[in-house]
């Protein structure tokens, strides 16, 4: 799709008109809404951050689609995907936060992860696809607005997904936690909320998907920066998971898995209380091999 100023204007006009009151995204508005959301979702895949700034005014109608559509509609997943793509622009991200987009994402996660619905989120479905996009929104927004994601319940939602979800959404959830724990106080809060054991579990290079291992080990490296947390996760068995990553020399993303395991171990090696948890040979393995 060739992106032109005229195409952008047409899509934004269609989407804005489609969500004008009454905003039930039904009847004569529905066809226009689906076409506009699909167009924006497709168009954003070829646009850089500066180009995406032009779509700032599409954030509001896309949030309205999330708020007003039936959660069973495929349109909702497509709108979440389009919003996630727009978060590569800081301008669009600020608008999303300003409009309360995180509150909408939080409400949807509460419903999808709630006991009343009792969804099986280990099996591929429309709902797991939607959760993956919603976690992706958390992950991208948390890079610049971590406390906003925490206040939206992001830690709790991501922990629930790590415990119950399929690998694709687990990878998005642990990626979101990794973005949040760049702030020391949030990292400590994550430990207090029981996030660290599920993170260690999905970081295991022998039992998890490559995407989960890479994202999980990156999150552990962030947590290990903080001595107080490093000591606690060592007691939970993190060193064994890091050893497995360190010994990964073959297979997809082996170099990246090993690099992240080394980063986490390097931080933990600075904490004297962690040393008893090390295998005697571990110190000989903490440099990359050719």
End-to-end CA distance of the chain: 43
Cα(146)–Cα(10) distance, integer angstroms: 34
Does residue 193 belong to any structural domain of this protein? no
Is pLDDT of 93 > 80?
yes
Q: Do 91 and 113 lie in a common domain?
A: no
Taking residues 185-189, report their average pLDDT.
Answer: 91
Does residue 190 belong to any structural domain of this protein? no
Q: 99, 116, 147: which is the final residue of a domain?
A: 99
Q: Do 109 and 80 lie in a common domain?
A: no
Q: Do 151 and 225 lie in a common domain?
A: no
Is pLDDT of 285 > 50?
no
Cα(140)–Cα(158) distance, integer angstroms: 14
Q: Do 83 and 134 lie in a common domain?
A: no
pLDDT number for residue 3 = 52
Q: Do 2 and 92 lie in a common domain?
A: yes
Cα(231)–Cα(191) distance, integer angstroms: 11
pLDDT band at 280 (very low <50, low <70, confident <90, very high): very low
pLDDT number for residue 28 = 45
Taking residues 123-145, report their average pLDDT.
Answer: 93
Q: Do 5 and 65 lie in a common domain?
A: yes
pLDDT per residue as tens digits for the range 221-231: 999 999 999 89
Does residue 185 belong to any structural domain of this protein? no
Does residue 174 belong to any structural domain of this protein? yes
Does residue 194 belong to any structural domain of this protein? no
Task: Answer whether 248's CB lies under 8 Å from 255's CB.
Answer: no
Between 142 and 61, whose confidence is greater?
A: 142
Q: 145, 180, 215: which is the final residue of a domain?
A: 180
pLDDT number for residue 215 = 93
Does residue 168 belong to any structural domain of this protein? yes
pLDDT per residue as tens digits for the range 25-39: 444 467 777 777 877
The pLDDT mean for the chain works out to 84
Burial classification of residue 115, based on how many CB atoms lie within 10 Å of its CB (0-12 exposed, 13-18 middle, 19 or more buried) = exposed
Q: Do 126 and 74 lie in a common domain?
A: no
pLDDT per residue as tens digits for the range 233-273: 998 989 888 988 888 888 888 999 999 999 998 898 888 88
Cα(162)–Cα(215) distance, integer angstroms: 12
Taking residues 147-161, report their average pLDDT.
Answer: 95
Does residue 195 belong to any structural domain of this protein? no
User: Which positions ≥6 away from 101 have C-beta within 8 Å?
Assistant: 59, 63, 66, 83, 137
Written in H, E and C, the secondary structure of 11-61 is: HHHHHHHHCCCCCCCCCHHHHHHHHHHHHHHHHHHHCCHHHHHHHHHHHHH
Between 117 and 37, whose confidence is greater?
A: 37
Residue 216, Cα to own-chain centre: how many angstroms?
12
pLDDT band at 207 (very low <50, low <70, confident <90, very high): confident
Q: By residue range, what is the domain housing residue 130?
A: 103-180
Q: Do 108 and 126 lie in a common domain?
A: yes
The tally of domains found in the chain comes to 3
Q: Do 34 and 81 lie in a common domain?
A: yes
Q: What proportion of the chain, given as a percentage, has pLDDT over 90?
A: 45
**Both tokens of residue 249?**
């020399």
pTM assigned to the model: 0.84
Q: What proportion of the chain, given as a percentage, has pLDDT over 70?
A: 85
Q: Do 262 and 284 lie in a common domain?
A: yes
pLDDT number for residue 281 = 45
Q: Do 89 and 114 lie in a common domain?
A: no
Q: 77, 99, 121: which is the final residue of a domain?
A: 99
Does residue 57 belong to any structural domain of this protein? yes
pLDDT band at 284 (very low <50, low <70, confident <90, very high): very low
Q: Do 92 and 116 lie in a common domain?
A: no
Between 46 and 235, whose confidence is greater?
A: 235
Phi and psi angles of residue 74, each rounded to the nearest 5 degrees, phi first? -55, -25
């Amino acid at each position: 799709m060739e992106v032109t100023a005229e195409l952008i204007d047409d899509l934004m006009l269609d989407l804005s008109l489609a969500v004008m009151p009454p905003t039930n995204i039904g009847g004569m508005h529905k066809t226009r809404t689906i076409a506009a959301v699909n167009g924006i979702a497709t168009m954003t895949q070829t646009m850089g951050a500066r180009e995406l700034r032009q779509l700032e005014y599409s954030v509001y109608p896309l949030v309205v689609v999330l708020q007003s559509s039936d959660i069973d509609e495929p349109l909702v997943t497509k709108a979440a995907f389009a919003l996630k793509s727009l978060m590569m622009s800081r301008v669009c991200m600020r608008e999303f936060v300003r409009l309360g987009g995180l509150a909408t994402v939080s409400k949807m996660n509460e419903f999808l992860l709630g006991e009343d619905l009792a969804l099986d989120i280990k099996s591929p479905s429309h709902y797991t696809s939607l959760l993956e996009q919603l976690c992706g929104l958390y992950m991208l927004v948390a890079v610049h607005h971590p406390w906003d994601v925490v206040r939206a319940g992001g830690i709790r939602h991501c922990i629930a997904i790590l415990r119950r979800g399929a690998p694709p959404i687990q990878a998005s959830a642990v990626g979101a936690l990794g973005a949040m724990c760049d702030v020391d106080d949030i990292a400590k809060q994550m430990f207090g909320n029981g996030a660290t054991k599920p993170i260690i579990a999905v970081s295991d290079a022998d039992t998890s998907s490559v995407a989960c291992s890479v994202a999980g080990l990156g999150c552990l490296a962030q947590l290990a920066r903080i001595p107080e947390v490093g000591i606690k996760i060592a007691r939970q068995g993190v060193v064994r998971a890091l050893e497995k990553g360190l010994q990964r020399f073959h297979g997809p993303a082996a170099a990246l898995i090993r690099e992240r395991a080394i980063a986490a171990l390097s931080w933990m090696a600075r904490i004297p209380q962690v040393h008893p948890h090390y295998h005697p040979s571990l110190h000989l393995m903490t440099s990359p091999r050719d």
